Amino acid sequence: MSHNINALPASGQFLGMTLKVCTVHGQEFEGELFAHDVNNSETVILKEVGNAQKDHCHYHMINSKMIRTMKVVETPPTHVPPPSGVDTKVLAERAATALQQRKTSAGRWGVGVSAEAQLIFDRLFKTHPDCKWEGQSIVVLGTRISPPYSPDDCSLVEGNDLRKLERIKKVLQGTKDQITRDKAKKELSGLTNGVANAPAQQPGPSNSSPGSSPLPQQGASSSAPHAGGGGNGILATPPPPPPSQAQQRGGKGEGNEGGKAGGQGDGKDKDKKGGGKGDEDEGQGGEGGGGEGGGGGRKGKEAA
């Protein structure tokens, strides 16, 4: 039976049928109607059937406007297999188990208690799963631990088994000691991390003017020898800065004049005077003046 593909209803009642489609170009495709978009793309997707390779499947996407004829080759089976049976009893047991676990988990949280009390309960619950809350008191192994949860606050719920009471007291004291050690370790770790993460202290602004040498600190010592320090570990006064070129030129000129004045004198006294003048000069200019003064002194001695 031939059908017009554009006449296919949007309800999808042809889905699953094996169709044979012939296009306006004379191409023929046969396969199961996998999808049919009526409103938007007008695309027909055929799933190729009878493929020998079970792990592969070929699909043909065809524009419905390009289809000339369509023929139903095989209709899908009308009998739909019933869904697999579900054991409602197993489901009920699972739900009851999950609900009981939730109730047990909720019973482990104390109402109106401090954080330390909850921590004590959690530590006791690890070794005594029968531990439970009764108001703000903890009940474990027939012993009641009342606030503020110290060994002196333990009492038997019933009976007079003192060994059980002493055991719970020892366990409670050990638990509190462990909590105290853990808290101290945590605080110490926080202080250590705070010191390690503290930003480095930046040096303050210097009061010395540009070009001046830094002042030595009081009590500071140095192993390197300094001029005038005597090797006693005390920083010596830094040497004066070298003279400028203008000062060198001026000192040399004064030394020359001193040497000449010594040359005009009479003998050793003038020589010493010229030399002295040269020594008073700074830098190379003073040394030059002293030399020339000495020469003038010798000439004056020969003339005498």
Residue 203 has a pLDDT of 54
CA atoms 76, 81, 84, 86: torsion sign: positive
pLDDT in tens, the chain (304 residues): 455 555 555 545 677 888 888 999 999 998 888 888 767 777 888 888 765 556 678 888 888 888 888 888 887 767 667 777 888 999 999 999 999 988 888 888 988 999 999 999 999 999 888 899 999 999 998 999 999 999 999 999 988 889 989 999 999 999 999 999 999 998 888 777 665 555 555 555 555 444 444 554 444 444 444 444 444 545 556 677 766 655 555 444 444 444 444 344 444 444 444 444 434 444 343 344 444 444 444 444 444 4
Tokens of 301: 């001695």
Tokens of 81: 């297999």
User: In angstroms, rounded to a whole number, what is the distance separating the alpha carbons of residues 102 and 106?
Assistant: 6
CATH number of 3-74: 2.30.30.100
Q: DSSP readout, 26-79? A: S-EEEEEEEEE-SSSS-EEEEE--S-S-TT---EEEEEGGGEEEEEEEEPPPSP
Give the per-residue pLDDT at 249: 53
Beta bridge partner(s), residue 18: 32, 74
Does residue 76 have a cis peptide bond before it, meaning omega lies within 30 degrees of 0?
Answer: no
**Minimal CA–CA distance to 70: which of 31, 39, 34, 12?**
31
Extents of the domains making up the chain = 3-74, 108-188
